[in-house]
A and B are shown apart, each in its own frame.
Chain A
Amino acid sequence: AQTVTQSQPEMSVQEAETVTLSCTYDTSESDYYLFWYKQPPSRQMILVIRQEAYKQQNATENRFSVNFQKAAKSFSLKISDSQLGDAAMYFCAYNTPLVFGKGTRLSVIA
C-alpha cells in the first residue's frame, strides 16, 4: 500500500523568510503524481502544486517550488518570501484518489 509521511507536525517561519516542508512516500509504481494541498484555517483545501514522477524537472508555482527526489522518494515543498496568508495546514498527497500525509501546520510570524 502506498504511504505518505510528513515528519514535521508543526513548523514556523518569519515573514519574508523561506521554509521547507518535508514529505516522503512509499510506492512501487513508476509513474504517479504528487501533490501539495493547503488548508487555511476554516477555509477550503486548495491545490498548491503538483509534480508528475515522470518529469525530472521540479515544479514551481510563483513562491512555491518542490524538490522532487524520485530515487529517495522525497517530495519537499519550499515556500519563499513567506507571507501571513501562507499560514495553514499543508498536506502532501499521492495520486488520485489521494493518499494523504498527516499534515504540517505552518505558522508565519510577523
Chain B
Amino acid sequence: DVKVTQSSRYLVKRTGEKVFLECVQDMDHENMFWYRQDPGLGLRLIYFSYDVKMKEKGDIPEGYSVSREKKERFSLILESASTNQTSMYLCASSLGQGFQETQYFGPGTRLLVL
C-alpha cells in the first residue's frame, strides 16, 4: 500500500514565524501535491511537483513556497505565517504524469496561526 506521511497532525505557530510542513511518500511516486482544505471551500491546490527540484504553482500559491530536494519528500513553507493561513493542509502523491492518475493522500496537518 502507498503510504503518505506528514510530519505533524497538529501545529500551532505565531504570526510571522516561518513554518515547514513535511510530506514523505514511500512508493517512488513522481508527482506530489499540496492542498489546503477549508470548510465550505473544499480543497484548493497550492503547489505541485512533477519531479525533483521542479515545482508548479497551483491556484493559491501566494504566501507559500515549496521544496523538493528528494523524490520522496515535498515540503511546504510558509515564509511568514499569517492568521489567514490557519487551515488543514493535505499532501498527496501520484505515480506518473497524466490527468488520470489516482492521488494518495496523507492524514493532513491542522495548522493554527495565532
Which residues of A line the B interface, CB within 8 A? Answer: 9, 32-33, 35, 37, 43-47, 50, 52, 91, 95-103
Closest to B96 in A: A96
Mind listing 30 A-B residue pairs with CB under 8 Å?
A32-B99, A33-B99, A37-B105, A43-B107, A44-B105, A44-B106, A47-B103, A50-B102, A91-B43, A95-B99, A96-B31, A96-B98, A96-B99, A96-B100, A96-B101, A96-B103, A97-B33, A97-B45, A97-B48, A97-B58, A98-B35, A98-B43, A99-B45, A100-B35, A100-B42, A100-B43, A100-B44, A102-B40, A102-B41, A102-B42
User: Inside 8 A of A100's CB, which chain B residues have their CB?
Assistant: 35, 42-44
Closest to A46 in B: B105
- Given the complex of chains A and B, what is the CA–CA distance between A33 and B103 in angstroms? 12
Is B25 among interface residues, defined by CB-CB distance under 8 A? no
Interface extent on B, as a size class?
A: 20 to 34
A interface majority secondary structure:
loop
Is B94 among interface residues, defined by CB-CB distance under 8 A? yes
- Given the complex of chains A and B, what is the CA–CA distance between A32 and B99 in angstroms? 7
- Given the complex of chains A and B, what is the CA–CA distance between A96 and B58 in angstroms? 12
- Given the complex of chains A and B, what is the CA–CA distance between A91 and B101 in angstroms? 16
User: Inside 8 A of A99's CB, which chain B residues have their CB?
Assistant: 45
